[in-house]
Structures are given as structure tokens and as C-alpha cells.
Amino acid sequence: MLKSRGYKDCINSVTTPDEVKAILSDAQNQNDSQFKADKLADKKKSAITEINKMKHLSDEQKQNFSDRVDDARTVSGVGRILSQAREKC
């Protein structure tokens, strides 16, 4: 709904408080989603950097853990994979 118009344009075109609330809710949800995506991307980047510095892992193990981090869908999932890499002997 809001892809083709800005939020201000949408708010200016609605006629009821409920419509304004819906637009504001959509904007907040989009902002929250972007924040979570950015946080996940940052966590993945730092985890892969750390994994690549681990001297106790072979190149193959580093690649395997890095691939798993890339496939992770949550920050906690990235954290679990990083913990597994740290514990690998």
C-alpha cells in the first residue's frame, strides 16, 4: 500500500483516526523489520570475521561455520553457531 507513496502523503489522504493509526503502525513495523535485519547482518559479519580468525579450525571448518552463519535467520542462531565454532576442538 505504501510502496508507491510516502507515509506523509498517506496520512494526508486519510479521513479517520483509525486509518492514521494503521499507517503509523505499518511505518513502525517496517522500521522494526529494518532494524532487525540490520542487526542480523551486523552479527553475521562480526561472527564470520571471528570464525575466520580461529586458529583451531581448519579452512574447511571455517567455511562450514561461515556458510551456516550466512544461512542463519536470527541473531540467536548466529550466536549458537559462533559458540559451536569456539568449542570445536
Q: Does this model's pTM top 0.85?
A: no
Q: Does residue 67 fall inside a structural domain?
A: yes
What pLDDT, on the 0 to 100 scale, is given for residue 43?
98
Q: Does residue 1 fall inside a structural domain?
A: no
What pLDDT, on the 0 to 100 scale, is given for residue 2?
47
What pLDDT, on the 0 to 100 scale, is given for residue 45?
98
Q: Does residue 2 fall inside a structural domain?
A: no
| CATH at 31 | 1.20.120.1850
Q: Does residue 11 fall inside a structural domain?
A: yes
Q: Does residue 24 fall inside a structural domain?
A: yes
Q: Does 88 have pLDDT greater than 80?
A: yes
**Cα separation, 62 vs 39, whole angstroms:** 22
Nearest one of 89, 39, 42 to 61, comparing CA atoms: 89
CA neighbours within 13 Å on the CB side: how many for 36?
A: 10
Q: Which domain holds residue 64?
A: 7-87
The count of domains in the chain is 1
